[in-house]
Structures are given as structure tokens and as C-alpha cells.
Structure 1
């Protein structure tokens, strides 16, 4: 028996040798906590599996694994409860508003780029790579690609990761078709089922954004060449070398989309095993005979900054419900105003509470993490989006029949009551369970999937066999315009030749007929 155990241990040590020595670099530039926490479980799991993981970000992690190394950026406050509702206005999805939001994000990204590129942490990364090279880089994909200059200097394989729907500028390098006819723009309010007007707006948004992004790439090129030298290729050329991309979505709720070998859906990476709920909240949940409505609009925006008349409507609307309401609200004085069926708390363990069997519905802002938790727990949802991809998530849940959008400025006590009754209908509850089943039941868990692909990419030297060669094709070749042109020219030529032959044949036949019927010509 001891001999068998020794053999098994030897095999385990031998096998782990192939994965424990990998050095992995992770690059974040956006200070949003939700972006970081979407993928932190992957980095932590890689560290636990023996890899040396170095993470450049704005987020400090308490109690991280010993193989997890932090390089912290500074000088930008982490976006956490620092945004007020007046900063979100206007609350619409017009073509202008979407581009205004994207341009605001780019202005922030320019600031982030300048700080990151001139941070001493970049020099530390280059020095560490000279001493012991990194094996792979995982890089955030959002609004800018300036880190590709650093990746080119390191000369290693890299994997992109998107914390929300993949923006269209990242399609081409991974051979992903650009189909605005049924793939909605990342910041739009459409699902995959669009009418003619929506498809037109979606097409204009996608194409105009990709055009504007060329300016962003030009600015990135200027800055990375200042930092790393004029011999650095443009970011568009470096991007073609990407091994694959992780996207924090899943077809179960986002709908059908074209996929390629290089796009891996990993929605639910942050879902963790259930943990005990604080005693006070547990008692409320367990004793809620009519069920619970959980209300939480995330941590980035201050709930208390909401217009006062809407706060009053919320209080009145909750009082009309037979459900127990658990309301995440950072101002503790609100508890003195609300009715007896409402419990307010400045913080809560959202996933654990949401999955409690007595929670019947969730009122959310539609953030990506909250949306994934809604789907995971299989709860009907009211969605009140404020910004960015929250509108897209609202449209997706609505199209799946498990959620309904209620705009912030339209909130009244009566509409709250009506919305809750609507999402408690049996068909909505059943739709939520159906989507949850699809999201949960996969060949591998999201974490296992992501870890496997990182290790596989390292083992294969960058997943070269899975890369698309289409990145170097001209647009007319990619869309077979040359082949179609050749076929059309051939058909036109064949038609012309056939017409000429038929004309000559017709002339010959006519001449013979005239000779037969003309006696004079025949006599002569």
C-alpha cells in the first residue's frame, strides 16, 4: 500500500512539474472593482495550482496566495461608491449618448494609459522578465490597447479578457464575424431580436465606433512608441498575434452569437461556493412567509444620491408589497422611514442571499456580475439600468422572459407594485429556472474552463494551430468579393460569347434561307 502511495505521489509531482513553473503576468488598467473581481478567481486558482502569478492592477487583495504577486498602480481613486446619479444623466441609449459614454471612458483610459506607461511598475516587469521570462500575459480588453506595446517588448503569447460583452474592435483578431444584424453593440439597449429601426441604429453604432477606434489606436501607437521606441509595431498589428479571448458572458442569457476557436465564454468565474449568511439577515430570510424581494443596485453608484422624489416612491412602493424587502442602501437613516416589511443594510453578501430559496425576485441595476448571479440563482428580475452594458443585460434578460426593465425616472409606487406582480408570474419564474439550468450545466465549470485554456495555451506555445489566418486577408478576400467578381465576370463573358455565337449562327441560317428562296441567285 505504501509503495502505491509513493508511486502516486511521484506521478503527481512529475505531472505538476509541467504546470507549476509557469510565470503568468496579468495587466489591468481600469480601476473599476467589478472588472477586477470578475477575473480574480482565475488568477487565484492559477496561483493555487503552482503558477507564479503577477498582477498589475489598482486592487489590493487581502490574504492572497503566496504565488500571487501584486504590482499596484496608484494616483487614480478606485471606482467604488464614488459615482452619483446626476453623473449618469441622460439615461437613454441614443446614438449620441452611447458615443458620449464611450468617449468619456476613453478620456479616462488616456489618463490611465499615461499613468500606467510611466509607472515604475512597468520597469519592474521588464526587469523581472529579463531575469526570468514570463510564459504568458493576460491583458484586459476594454477601451484601449496600450499594453500591447509592453507585450511586444516581452515577446510572449497573450490572452485577452473582456469583463463584459466583447466590443466590436476586438472581433477581427480572433476571426469573429461582425454581424450587427443580430449581435447588439456592447452598450446598446437591444437584444439579438431587433426590428428594422433597431438594426439600423445598431449598424450605425458599430461601424461608427470602429471608425472612431482607429483614432484611439493611433493615440496608443504614439504613446507606446514614446515609451518603448519607434520600432514598436502598431497595436492593430500586435493584436493579430493574440492567442485567444475570454468573455464574461454565456449564450444562456446573452443569446446566440457567432463563436470562433479563439473566443471562450467564461461567464460565472466569480461565482463562489455558498457561505453562511449573517444571522440577522438569515432570520429575516427564513421567516419571510411570503418570500423576499432583494434590492441592490451595485457598489459603484451611491444609492443615497438618487433624486428625493424617487426615494419617496420607493418607500411607498415597498410598503404596498406583501413580500419582505431586503434593500441595500448605504444611508442607515433610511431604516427609520421605511415600512415594517423593509430591512435596509449598507452591505450584503449578494450571491448568498440571492440564492436563498425564500428570495422570489431581484431588483438590480443590471451590472454584469449581478446579472450573472441572477442567472446562476435562477431568479426573476426587475432591471433599472444607469450606464454602459447594463442596458444590454436588461434587454437580454427581458428577451429570455426572466426580467423586465423599469427606468429610473419612471419609478412610481404603482409601477413598482405592478413590476413585482409581473415578474412573479409562473411563466417568468419558469423562464428564470430554464436559463439558470443552461448556465449551470456545462461540460466544465467556468473556472475549470479558463484554467485549462491558460495552461493549454502555455503548453502549445500560444495556441498557434487554433489561430485565424484571416487577420492578414484583405476585406474583399475575406468576404469573397474577389471570387464573386470572378464568377460574375465569367458569367458576363460567357453570356457575351454565347450571344455572339448565337448571333453569328442566326445570320448564317438567315443567309441560307434567303439563298434557297431566291431563284435568281440560285440560277446564277
Structure 2
């Protein structure tokens, strides 16, 4: 069945003409671009001419793949984020997004190659832009007069809901940076409201204004960025409802979660020997490319090592400082590890992770249960999704100790739990079209149908209509008029009643007497 679908898809796509596609990815985070790179190279592999503005130029690009490199202008983000979670860290995250968004825009727009590209009025069939901490790329796309497809490697940011007409209700929609998932407590809902206002205020009144001014210094007549953002044809989100649950997305928001995961390759060398000889299986530990494991407190490292000693499984830990930990019979460490190949190995039984979206989708792809320890960014929301979907369990970093971590591992290592995870993984793969094919299809669709808008009417409804304030006002006026009419009628009836008339006559007679 899958072979038939693939063959049909190849026949359909073989008739698609070669497109000129521009990708704009100004953010300097490695973990984001690792996801986009798979999509961009696939576009080139399918015969499209791809030009990419990013901090990550290809070393061996295909002949039809061209880089406009921003490399070296900003230090690439890697292994320098905190491993502590607090209100202070969330507040600082918003400030980080604000100022990196401004910086990313300035670095990109002042690049000579970018300016030459815009002034040359190059013809592109579609422009693909990252949706994260800046809308600056929409200004470039506008000057090139090309339709836009948005992409992200994570769940929606707070400022994406309104522009796309997606309902945001704190009672059931996870907030990017906070715990609670789809079942938050009252306290967590209050948190969400306050932080939602905080993040969106900074974005609209600092980042957006700054980017608008930056673009105006180099290019004339750029409409408001928020308006341009609302005009994008599609947004390809790194969701899939099997993991993140059902969301109220309009038709132009397409779920493509998991397209970056490649086929696992055989391990080699000492790592292969370590994994193959693990009689009780292995557990993989990694906190991604942004969080440095050596920044964990001594107490937390000690708790993890105590669990390593107590469980019969062997452990593989992505550790960035070999002087602190050395590989031994139970523990293998290295600063770089082939994560996909490890997770795809049949001996891998569990994954202790920071709940980054990349690693989470790799784990669900291979059916490996997760013990999630979310820290920052979208990790708290991802951690909740991991638990709610049945893919794993959470251990908050504030609760990380030997007892809690040991209980979490024993739960996910249980045979019944692992069987459930395999079922979740099977459902994850059961789609009408593979996610990478879906992402490519809707990109080509946007280029083929440039005269159509796929924006939901919900995105343009004024707030007073959204909350029925005008309808409530009409009904309120009607009720007031109705009540007033009833009261007036009662007064008239009382004044004309027989009792009242006789009282008046009697009163007149007594006066005459």
C-alpha cells in the first residue's frame, strides 16, 4: 500500500516544473537548521533551483543549490543555554528572542548579497521563510513579489495564533514556554495569560518595530510586517496530532512533524561493541545541541550516575567534557554521538532527553520511550505532549534526584509501557503521505496557485466580533427596552385599574364635602 502511494506521488510530482525557490532562515540556531536542511536538500534533489539565506552554508551542495551565507556574522548557538528553570529564565528567554530577532534581521538585511538579490528583482516562484523570532524575511519576500510559505521546527510561538486565526485558550492550548500541557491548573492558566501578554508585547512593540525600521533603511515601501505575515499562503508546522494532540488549525496550517528523521545506519567501532554486548539493553542520554550537560549541578550529575550504577542497562551519554566522565563498563560518553543510529538500534530501550522537538520526533519515529526533563523554549510543552501521548514520562529538573529518576526509568522500561510506545510509533507513521512529501507538496502547491489566498476568515475578525460583544450589546439593548416596556405597561395598567378609578372618585367626593 505504501509503495503504491509512493509511486503515485512520484508520478504526480514528475510532472511538476522546476521551481526557483528562495529559503530565508536568518536564525543562528543549529538545532533549527538541522531540521530545515533535510527539506531544502530534498527540494534540490527533486529538481528545483534552491537559493538559501542562512548561517549554515552547505559544504557539498547539489548543483542546483546555492547559498547566500551569513556565516561568521554571529556566533552559532550551541551548548550555552542554562540548565535551570525559573521565572527569571523565562523572562530572559523573551528578552533573548527579542534581541536576537532584531540582530538576525540587521545581519541579514545589511548583507551585500542579500541586497543585490533584492535589487536584481530576481524571479522566485515561492519564498520559504522560518517562523520563529522575526518577521523580517517577509519584507524580503515582498520586494521579490513572491508567494510565501512559512516553516518552523517547533510548536507555535505566542504571536502566531492571532495572525493565523488559530484559537488560543489557556484552558486547553499548551503555552510554548510553560508546563501544564492541555490540562493546566488554575495557577498555570494565570501564568499563561501573564506570560502570553509579556511575550507578545515584547515581540510586537520591540522586535517588529525594530525590524520594520531596519528594512526601511535599505528598502522602500515595505508594508507593516504583521500584515505581510498574515498573507503567507501556508505554514508548515512541526506537529503531528499523534504526539501533540488535536489542535484547531485552519486549512493553511499543515502538520509535517518528523520529516527530518533519516534511516538509522549501523553503528561502528567501540560504540557498536558497547551496544551490541549490552545484555540488558542500553539507555541513551542527551540534552541536545543547546544545553550543556556539564552545566548540571554536582548533585544532579551524582543522582544520574547513581541511577546508572543501580540499573542493569548500559548507558550512553552525550557529554561535552571528557575530563569529568570516562567511559567504563556501564557508561559510554562522547561529545558527539550518532543520535538517530543509536535510537534506531534494537538494543536501545529508553531515551533520557531535554524534550527538544528534534530528539522527541526521532524517539517516536523509532518507538523509543522517553524520560523527559524539559528546561527551556518549547521543551515544557513538548514534555507535556510526551506524557499525554503515552510516549514517556516527565521528571522536572527541580525534582531530579535518584529516587524520582529511578522510578521514571522503571516505568518506561516496563514491557507493557514499551508495547504502548510501539503502538504510538506505529500510529505516527500511519499517514496518507510521508511528512517530507507533504512539506514538498504544499510548497509546490503555493507556487502553482499564487492567485489564491488560503487564509481563514477567523484571522480577520475584530476582537469585538470574536467575543460577540456587538451581539451581546444588541441583546442587552433589547432586554433593556423589553424590561422598560413591561414596566411602563404595568404602570399604565395600574393607573387604569377599577380600584384606582373608584379611589379617585371617592377622593373627589370627600374634597367636595
- Name the TM-score, length of structure 2 as normaliser: 0.89
Which of 22, 33, 37 is matched with 1:36 structurally? 33
Which secondary structure state, in structure 2, belongs to the residue aligned with residue 264 of structure 1? strand
Which of 339, 347, 369 is matched with 1:380 structurally? 369
CA deviations over 1:492-513 (Å, ceiling 9, x no partner) = 2233224433443444344697
- Number of the residue aligned with 2:52: 55
Q: Distance in 2 between matches of 1:145 and 1:395?
A: 28
Q: Distance in 2 between matches of 1:73 and 1:109?
A: 15
- Number of the residue aligned with 1:488: 476
Q: Distance in 1 between matches of 2:315 and 2:480?
A: 72
| 2:104 corresponds to 1:112 | yes
Q: Distance in 2 between matches of 1:462 and 1:285?
A: 55
Which secondary structure state, in structure 2, belongs to the residue aligned with residue 366 of structure 1? coil
Q: CA RMSD in A?
A: 2.8
Q: Distance in 1 between matches of 2:156 and 2:96?
A: 18
CA contact (8 A) 2:256 2:436 kept: yes
Alpha carbons of structure 1 residues 499 and 409: separation in structure 2 relative to 1, 3 Å: closer
Alpha carbons of structure 1 residues 462 and 289: separation in structure 2 relative to 1, 3 Å: farther
- Number of the residue aligned with 1:97: 89
Q: Distance in 2 between matches of 1:17 and 1:292?
A: 46
Alpha carbons of structure 1 residues 13 and 251: separation in structure 2 relative to 1, 3 Å: closer
Shift of residue 139, structure 1, vs aligned partner: 0.8
CA contact (8 A) 2:52 2:66 kept: yes
Which secondary structure state, in structure 1, belongs to the residue aligned with residue 159 of structure 2? helix
Which of 439, 442, 453 is matched with 2:431 structurally? 442
Alpha carbons of structure 1 residues 213 and 289: separation in structure 2 relative to 1, 3 Å: same
CA contact (8 A) 2:82 2:295 kept: no
- Name the TM-score, length of structure 1 as normaliser: 0.87
Query: Which stretch shows the higher mean deviation, 373-382 or 194-203?
Result: 373-382
Which secondary structure state, in structure 2, belongs to the residue aligned with residue 171 of structure 1? helix
Q: Distance in 1 between matches of 2:126 and 2:244?
A: 29
Which secondary structure state, in structure 2, belongs to the residue aligned with residue 361 of structure 1? strand
1:231-246 matches, cutoff 5 A: 231-246=221-236
Q: Distance in 1 between matches of 2:426 and 2:45?
A: 29
Alpha carbons of structure 1 residues 493 and 182: separation in structure 2 relative to 1, 3 Å: same
Shift of residue 351, structure 1, vs aligned partner: 1.7
- Number of the residue aligned with 1:368: 357
1:162-311 matches, cutoff 5 A: 162-215=152-205, 216-229=207-220, 231-311=221-301
Shift of residue 238, structure 1, vs aligned partner: 1.8
Q: Distance in 2 between matches of 1:105 and 1:358?
A: 39
Shift of residue 23, structure 1, vs aligned partner: 1.1
Structure 1: gaps of 5 or more residues: 1-11
Query: Which stretch shows the higher mean deviation, 192-201 or 374-383?
Result: 374-383
Q: Distance in 2 between matches of 1:49 and 1:439?
A: 25
Alpha carbons of structure 1 residues 78 and 208: separation in structure 2 relative to 1, 3 Å: closer
Shift of residue 463, structure 1, vs aligned partner: 4.2
Shift of residue 275, structure 1, vs aligned partner: 2.2
- Number of the residue aligned with 2:3: none
Q: Distance in 2 between matches of 1:434 and 1:497?
A: 65
Q: Distance in 2 between matches of 1:407 and 1:495?
A: 56
CA contact (8 A) 1:157 1:462 kept: no
- Number of the residue aligned with 1:478: 466
Query: Which stretch shows the higher mean deviation, 280-289 or 207-216?
Result: 280-289
| 2:57 corresponds to 1:65 | no
Shift of residue 113, structure 1, vs aligned partner: 1.8
Query: Which stretch shows the higher mean deviation, 274-283 or 159-168?
Result: 274-283
Shift of residue 332, structure 1, vs aligned partner: 4.1
Alpha carbons of structure 1 residues 415 and 504: separation in structure 2 relative to 1, 3 Å: closer
Query: Which stretch shows the higher mean deviation, 248-257 or 419-428?
Result: 419-428
Q: Distance in 1 between matches of 2:385 and 2:14?
A: 41
CA contact (8 A) 2:135 2:225 kept: yes
- Number of the residue aligned with 1:146: 136
Structure 2: gaps of 5 or more residues: 1-9
The number of residues matched between the two structures is 498
Query: Which stretch shows the higher mean deviation, 430-439 or 216-225?
Result: 430-439
CA deviations over 1:476-497 (Å, ceiling 9, x no partner) = 1233321221122123223322
Shift of residue 70, structure 1, vs aligned partner: 1.0
CA contact (8 A) 2:109 2:115 kept: no
CA contact (8 A) 2:23 2:53 kept: yes
Q: Distance in 2 between matches of 1:514 and 1:261?
A: 73
Alpha carbons of structure 1 residues 194 and 301: separation in structure 2 relative to 1, 3 Å: closer
